[in-house]
């Protein structure tokens, strides 16, 4: 586990885990520095792949995550 990651202290079932990453500990260069996980923002795809592999290795993930594209706005889509 990366020391910069945030693990919530919440009353969830034992089989439910969560973590939030920070920008520290990855290989991407500015302006995506350094732990960018988004493949849709213009970062080098090789860096994103390495960062995602690091998350999988250090985060103890049970499998490959499903990656989504986060969009900020007020419109709700079905």
> What's the CA gap between 58 and 50, in Å, rounded?
12
- State yes or no: pLDDT of 12 exceeds 80: yes
- State yes or no: pLDDT of 2 exceeds 90: no
Residue 6, SS3 per DSSP: strand
pLDDT digits (tens, 9 = 90+) for 13-68: 988 888 889 999 999 999 998 999 999 999 999 999 999 999 988 888 888 888 88
Confirm if 22 and 38 have CB atoms less than 8 A apart: no
- State yes or no: pLDDT of 77 exceeds 80: no
Q: Name the pLDDT band for 9 (thresholds 50, 70, 90).
A: very high
Confirm if 52 and 44 have CB atoms less than 8 A apart: no
> What's the CA gap between 59 and 47, in Å, rounded?
18
């Amino acid at each position: 586990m990366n020391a910069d990651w945030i693990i919530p202290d919440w009353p969830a079932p034992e089989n439910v885990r969560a973590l939030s990453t920070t920008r520290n500990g990855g290989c991407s260069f500015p302006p995506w520095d350094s732990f960018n996980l988004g493949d849709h923002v213009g970062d080098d795809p090789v860096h994103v792949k390495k960062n995602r592999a690091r998350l999988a290795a250090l985060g103890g993930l049970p499998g490959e995550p499903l990656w989504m594209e986060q969009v900020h706005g007020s419109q709700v889509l079905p």
